[in-house]
């Protein structure tokens, strides 16, 4: 992968996969590798319904942690 995808669903999947498979230690290192700022990725995906969880090291749907069980 030479660039980060523009489609929000594919971007979330790609970023989460790269972090999960330990290709990158942090979101910051992943973003810098692809020539973008982490805040830009976070803001873009937040606008499409996703929030970054530092604890989980992945993007999750907004409200995932407040859902009733």
Residue 52's φ and ψ, nearest 5 degrees, are: -90, 130
Structure tokens at 42: 């976070």
Look-up: residue for tokens 């498979």?
A: 21
Q: Provide the total of helices (H) and of strands (E) in the chain, helices listed first.
A: 3, 2
The whole-number pLDDT of residue 68 equals: 55
Spatial separation of the C-alpha atoms in residues 55 and 19, rounded to whole Å = 12
Q: Does residue 65 carry a pLDDT above 80?
A: no
pTM higher than 0.75 for the full model?
yes
Band (pLDDT 50/70/90 cuts) for residue 1 is low
Q: Which domain holds residue 15?
A: 8-66
The whole-number pLDDT of residue 16 equals: 97
Q: Would residue 49 count as lying in a domain?
A: yes
Contacts of 39 (CB under 8 A, 6+ apart): none
Q: Would residue 52 count as lying in a domain?
A: yes
Instruction: Please count the structural domains in the chain.
Output: 1
């Amino acid at each position: 992968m030479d660039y980060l995808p523009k489609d929000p669903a594919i971007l979330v999947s790609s970023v989460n996969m790269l972090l999960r498979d330990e290709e990158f230690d942090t979101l910051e290192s992943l973003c810098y590798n692809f020539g973008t700022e982490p805040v830009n990725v976070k803001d873009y995906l937040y606008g499409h319904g996703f929030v970054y969880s530092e604890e989980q090291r992945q993007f999750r749907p907004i409200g995932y942690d407040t859902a009733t069980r």
